[in-house]
Structure 1
Amino acid sequence: MDTSDFISVLALAVSLLSAWISYRAYRYSVRVKEAESSLAFSRDKAEFLVRIDKARKYFDRLENRLKELLDRIIYGAEDIKRALVAEEQQLKSDLAYLEGCQRQVWSLTDEVYEMEQSALAHHKPRFLRLIEDDELFVSEANGRCDRAEELINKAEKNFTMFFL
């Protein structure tokens, strides 16, 4: 075996070692990229679940307020009930619609929790729009609650002044 054969074998060994190192570096970079992607997906999913939970709490606060106002009307004096029939019907209607919003937000929570990365990327804008539409309803319903509360307070005040 002469020098050129030895150099050729040595070059082949170095090439094989270089190819093995390159392959290992490639596999490592692929694993790191997958880990980063998985972490970003987990973070995005967690943030969206928090967003959904905030909406659910917003809906729950409105539900409590609607029930409180309805109780004030239902358990109030007959004169107050008669004066506030329209408000009672509106509050009941808002409560019925809100129950649908709450069912939807619980469904979204379950669905998002089970989603894979591509499904979340595909459905998140639509789900976010649904939540925002429901939050707009809640905002409008809160305005109706403010008006109903003023009318209830005025009716109760007039009722107590009438009997004093």
Structure 2
Amino acid sequence: MKETNNDTSINIEELAASMRGELNSLPFLPSQCCIHTVPKQLHPLNEKACTPQLVSIGPLHHGKEELKPMEEHKKRHLQDFLQRTDLSLVDYLKDIKEKEKRLRDCYAETIEFSSDEFIIVILVDAAFIIKVLLSYHFKTMRNGKENIVYLINHGRFKI
């Protein structure tokens, strides 16, 4: 089927076939893929908006020299988190290990960390985020008075 528009002939079926071929050759992205880096072309527009300045969450910027001072702080949050929950460090590590493939599939880029390093980054950062959010929401969390599991399980906070 040919259509003519302003002296231009386009074979719609051929155009569609060409586009289907291009679309079918796109690299596979798991359906869980939802974490992307900011494209390098956007960095010159506002470098500070494109890169973490104080803290990194997750493996994409982990280990950058300028962000290392916050790593100790995040580990202190993990330590406090563990003291306020009913599970052990081993329990959390096992749980993340079981979910590792699903977690890695969330990233558009391949994460080159070893399994152990990836699991540790996820645990430290997850505990940090949970502690910060709970501390912001509950004043009693700021003084170390409430158990995290109690807050979550008794309906005072939903995750």
Structure 1-normalised TM-score? 0.28
| Structure with the larger RCO, 1 or 2 (CA within 8 Å, 6+ apart) | 1
| Structure (1 or 2) with the greater helix fraction | 1
Rg larger for? 1
Instruction: Tell me which protein shows more strand as a share of its residues.
Output: 2
Q: TM-score, normalised by structure 2?
A: 0.28
